[in-house]
A = this chain, B = another copy of it.
Amino acid sequence: MTTVAPAAIGTLTATGTKLGAWHHRHLIDVDVLSWAEIELIMRTTDEMKGILARPIRKVPALNGRRVTTLFYEASTRTRVSFETAARNLSADVVSISTATSSVTKGESLVDTIRTLEALGAEILVMRHGVSGAPYLAAEVFGGHVLNGGDGWHAHPTQALLDLYTMRENLPGGDLRGRKVVIVGDILHSRVARSNIWSLTAAGADLWLCGPATLLRGMDRWAAAWSGGAVPGHGRFNVTTDIEAALRDADVVMGLRIQRERMQGGLLPSMREYAARFQLTAARLRLAKPEAIVMHPGPMNEGVEIAPDVATSGRSVITEQVANGVAVRMALLYLLAGAHEAAVGEPAR
């Protein structure tokens, strides 16, 4: 891995203000982040949103640096978001999808990672169907691993963009005491898992809601959480009662219901799920009048969310997509070490 000379990087802030220190070589889950580091990511994202508001939304911060996206699961929106973020910072992007490539031709993940590094990859954005795969990648990769979602485990950039979007929409940008409800397939959701960490760290009053089969094990987890297992984190609540969950909520997030769950016997039918848990205008009347509606996408409109809710004035779903590019720019920038080089302390 090469070290980037300060000259190669532009200072992001006009004032050159020190944003704080970043010490992680990889980002595989939000659970390694201190609150100060989360704040650093949020403020760096602010800077990136400033860049996106310019007529030419591109800065040379990562000029000549190599970002490789390696997607073992298809996800056009997430891949395009990362690649747009990388290009906005002038990085060179190599894009590999196993669906259309030969990387799986009997080759082990470890060999693939070593090969990509030898081909020049410096930051590896990885999505993999197996929980924990990015940890293995990080062990052998000489550069930086940024997790784009692994199995049911984690989706840190989604959790961070969700957090950023909530702060942007809540008065004072403060989640403390705010009721945040996540409704849907909690069991299989890496989005929910990563959000549990960051939202309890932010002090939210977090509620997870869905059919009992899609909440399995969550109550024990919630109990451990409140038992002081994680210092500084608030507890979270688990319920199958959609009305209790939505009542006086500040934030309501729907999760995608996947057709495959029917086959696994976890849901009787899409129609029954929709009847009991769909985010409808009627149900949302239980929430606070100013409550916002979120969804990580892609949506199954008419299943977990009603079409009119998805496009209503309280929906911030496309805002989430736009913030996703800014958050990913911030993380690529911080991981690349560009941050320290640009705004390191002048003297010690």
Tell which of B74, B299, B325 touches A102, judged by Cβ atoms closer than 8 Å: B74
Residue A3 at the chain B interface, CB threshold 8 Å: yes
- A residues contacting B by CB (< 8 A) are 2-5, 8, 52-58, 63-66, 74-77, 80-81, 83-84, 87-88, 92, 94, 96-97, 99-103, 105-108, 111, 114-120, 259, 297-301, 310, 318-322, 324-325
Contact B94 A75 (CB under 8 A): no
Query: With A and B bound together, what is the CA distance between A310 and B3 in angstroms?
Result: 28
Query: With A and B bound together, what is the CA distance between A137 and B287 in angstroms?
Result: 33
Copies assembled: 3
Chain B residue with the shortest CB-CB distance to A108: B301
- Pick 29 A–B contacts, CB within 8 A, sort by A: A2-B55, A2-B57, A52-B120, A55-B64, A58-B64, A58-B92, A80-B94, A80-B119, A83-B94, A97-B100, A100-B100, A103-B298, A105-B298, A106-B259, A106-B298, A106-B300, A107-B298, A111-B299, A111-B310, A114-B321, A115-B297, A115-B318, A117-B318, A118-B319, A118-B321, A119-B321, A119-B324, A119-B325, A120-B325
With a cutoff of 8 Å between Cβ atoms, the chain B residues found around residue A299 in the complex are: 106-107, 111
With a cutoff of 8 Å between Cβ atoms, the chain B residues found around residue A324 in the complex are: 119
Task: Among A66, A107, A320, find the residue whose CB has the most chain B CB atoms closer than 10 A.
Answer: A107
Query: With A and B bound together, what is the CA distance between A84 and B122 in angstroms?
Result: 13
Chain B residue with the shortest CB-CB distance to A97: B100
With a cutoff of 8 Å between Cβ atoms, the chain B residues found around residue A92 in the complex are: 58, 84, 87
Query: With A and B bound together, what is the CA distance between A4 and B57 in angstroms?
Result: 11
Contact B64 A119 (CB under 8 A): no
Contact A114:B55 (CB < 8 A) given known A76-B101, A87-B92: no
